Structure 1
Amino acid sequence: MKINTVAVIGTGFIGTVHVESIRRTGVSVKGVLSGSAESTKRGAENLSVSTQYKSVQEICSDKDVTVVHVTSPNALHYPQVKELMAAGKHVICEKPLALTAKEGIDLVNLADKTGLVNATCFNTRFYPMVHEARSLVKSDLIGVPRYIKGHYHQDWLTLETDWNWRLEAEQAGELRAVADIGSHLIDQIGFVSGLEISEVMAELHTLVKTRQKPTGPVQTFTIDTSSKRESVKMSSDDAAGVLIRFTNGARATISISQISSGRKNSINWEISGPDGSLAFDSENPEQLWIGHRGKANELLQRDLSMLSPSAAKISFYPGGHIEGFSETFRGLFERVYADIESESRSATYPTFADGVRSLQITDAIAESSQKSSWVKVKR
Structure 2
Amino acid sequence: MVSVAHASASTPSIGILGGGFMARVHSRAARSAGAALEVIATSDLAGSERAAAELGFATAADPDDFFAHPVDVVHVCTPNRAHAQQSLSALEAGSHIICEKPVATDSATAGRVLERAEELGLGGTVPFVYRYHPMVREARARIRRGDTGALLTVDASYLQDWLLDPDDENWRVDAGSGGPSRAFADIGCHLVDLIEFIAGQTITALAATMRTVHPRRGGVPVSTEDTVALTVEFSGGAIGSLLVSQVAPGRKNGLVIEIAGERESLRFAQEQPEQLWLGRRAESRLLVRDAESLSADAARLCRVPAGHPQGYQDAFDAFIADSYAVFAGEQREGVPRLADGLRAVTVTEAVLRSAAERRWVEVEQP
Matched residue, 1:21: 29
Query: Aligned residue pairs: how many?
Result: 357
Alpha-carbon distance, 1:14 to partner: 1.0
Alpha-carbon contact 1:178-1:362 (below 8 Å) kept: yes
Matched residue, 1:151: 157
1:247 matched to 2:254: no
Matched residue, 1:60: 67
Mapped partners of 1:263, 1:4: distance in 2: 37
Alpha-carbon contact 1:3-1:340 (below 8 Å) kept: no
- SS in structure 2 opposite 1:79? helix
TM-score under structure 1 normalisation?
Answer: 0.91
Q: CA RMSD in A?
A: 1.4
Q: Say which of 33, 43, 56 aligns to 2:51.
A: 43
Alpha-carbon distance, 1:340 to partner: 2.2
Matched residue, 1:225: none
Mapped partners of 1:366, 1:277: distance in 2: 30
Mapped partners of 1:192, 1:2: distance in 2: 28
Q: Deviation string for 1:41-67 (max 9, x for gaps)?
A: 2222221322111126x333323x111
Q: Which runs of 5+ in 2 are unaligned?
A: 1-8
Alpha-carbon contact 1:3-1:66 (below 8 Å) kept: no
Mapped partners of 2:68, 2:331: distance in 1: 26
Q: Deviation string for 1:277-313 (max 9, x for gaps)?
A: 000001111000000112x211000111111111111
The within-5 A match list for 1:1-379 is: 3-55=11-63, 58-63=65-70, 65-212=71-218, 231-294=219-282, 296-341=283-328, 343-344=329-330, 346=332, 348-379=334-365
Q: Which runs of 5+ in 1 are unaligned?
A: 213-230
Alpha-carbon contact 1:85-1:91 (below 8 Å) kept: yes
Alpha-carbon distance, 1:347 to partner: 5.5
Mapped partners of 1:83, 1:281: distance in 2: 37
Mapped partners of 1:131, 1:247: distance in 2: 21
Identity %: 34
Mapped partners of 2:140, 2:12: distance in 1: 34
Alpha-carbon contact 2:131-2:334 (below 8 Å) kept: no
Q: Deviation string for 1:338-361 (max 9, x for gaps)?
A: 1222x2554530111111111111
Alpha-carbon contact 2:45-2:63 (below 8 Å) kept: no
- SS in structure 1 opposite 2:151? coil
Mapped partners of 2:10, 2:234: distance in 1: 41
Matched residue, 1:224: none
Alpha-carbon contact 1:3-1:67 (below 8 Å) kept: no
Alpha-carbon distance, 1:38 to partner: 2.6
Alpha-carbon contact 2:11-2:33 (below 8 Å) kept: no
